[in-house]
Amino acid sequence: MPIEIRALTPHIGAVLTGIDVRKPLTEAEVAAVNAGMDRHAVLVLPGQDITDAQQLAFTDNFGPQQAGANATMRAADFRLDPTFADVSNLDKNNKMLARDDRRRMASLGNRLWHSDASFRVVPAKYSILSGRTVVSRGGNTEFADMRAAYDALDDETKAEIEDLICEHSLIFSRGQLGFDEYLPEEKETMQPVKHRLVRTHPSSGRKSLFLSAHIGTILGWPRPEAMSFIRDLTEHATQREFVYSHKWTQHDLVIWDNRATMHRVRRYDDLNTVRDLRRTTTKSDGPTVAQEAA
């Protein structure tokens, strides 16, 4: 079956057909996915009815895997293999989380524009999200093109932001929603990490804005000034022309490049309908900036 890629918007997102994710990929297939990702930053592979093991094997083609971001969960509560990020509204007994469950509170941070694992020293490269059970109303995942957003800035702004460094932490993103119920050991693992605000993609060579709801300040700036500027940049970067909104069909497999995009999930009725998406994630090449010794 020939591999075909069809763009979904002028900037971002494409549908890729002609690959069966249940089978080991050939070198040519891996190369086609990587080339499609460098161009479109988000690829939708429809009709991929896969198991967890098949998803893990597929993910291995694209770099070392990053463990799931279930930072407010105890290992005993995991529903899935801990390599996965559990993007569902279910507990380990497959029951929907209660309205006031702290795991639900924490996951509501996914409704803010973010880049996966930007709160880690080595942030994410690809996120690979499998739609096992999808909802018919709401729950779209939206993607914004941080390369196109960077390109559209004026030269003065580009010069001003070129060497800025931001601090990222889960505490900042969840704090925006008023969530702060952390255990002391959780807080310990959520120390802010530093990242460049402008990064260059290693294979496409394109510059992009490394924005994320996890940002809590810009180094050397008064915090309110930093956060109002980050808010302005985020508003600029998530204008409709830079966004692809994905409505899920069961067995969609969606891959996005966190080095070139932000994403968010839209609201859905998570108290009454089951949504079970499972994410695997690969690591990017390394830190975007040197970190101080702890």
* DSSP of 49-66: ---HHHHHHHHGGGS-B-
User: Can you tell me the distance from the alpha carbon of 61 to that of 67, in angstroms, rounded to the nearest whole number?
Assistant: 16
User: Can you tell me the distance from the alpha carbon of 282 to that of 228, in angstroms, rounded to the nearest whole number?
Assistant: 31
276 near Fe ion, judged by CB under 5 A: no
User: Can you tell me the distance from the alpha carbon of 284 to that of 228, in angstroms, rounded to the nearest whole number?
Assistant: 28
Instruction: Kindly state the tokens that stand for 136.
Output: 């018919």
Q: Determine the interface stretch with Fe ion among 32-40, 109-117, 141-149, 233-241 (rule: CB under 5 A).
A: 109-117
Residue of closest CB approach to Fe ion = 116
Amino acid at 103: R
CB of 124 to Fe ion, least distance (A): 9
CB of 39 to Fe ion, least distance (A): 22
Site string for Fe ion, 65-104 (x = CB under 5 A): ----------------------------------------
Instruction: Kindly state the tokens that stand for 112.
Output: 């803010």
Residue among 91 and 116 whose Cβ is closer to Fe ion? 116
Residues that contact Fe ion, how many (by CB under 5 A): 1
Residue among 116 and 257 whose Cβ is closer to Fe ion? 116
Residue among 116 and 276 whose Cβ is closer to Fe ion? 116
Specify the DSSP class assigned to residue 151.
Answer: H
CB of 221 to Fe ion, least distance (A): 26
Residue among 86 and 116 whose Cβ is closer to Fe ion? 116
CA distances to 38, 84, 106 from 70, rounded to whole Å, are 28, 9, 9
Residue among 114 and 206 whose Cβ is closer to Fe ion? 114
CB of 110 to Fe ion, least distance (A): 5
Residue among 24 and 82 whose Cβ is closer to Fe ion? 82
In this chain, which of 29, 86, 91, 116 binds Fe ion, going by CB under 5 A?
A: 116
Q: Determine the interface stretch with Fe ion among 31-39, 110-118, 188-196, 224-232 (rule: CB under 5 A).
A: 110-118
Question: Is the dihedral angle over the CA atoms 134, 169, 212, 177 positive or is it negative?
Answer: positive
Q: Where are the beta strands (DSSP E) in the chain?
A: 4-7, 14-17, 42-45, 85-88, 124-133, 141-145, 165-168, 193-196, 198-200, 207-209, 215-218, 243-246, 253-257, 261-265, 276-283
Q: Which residues bind Fe ion (CB under 5 A)?
A: 116
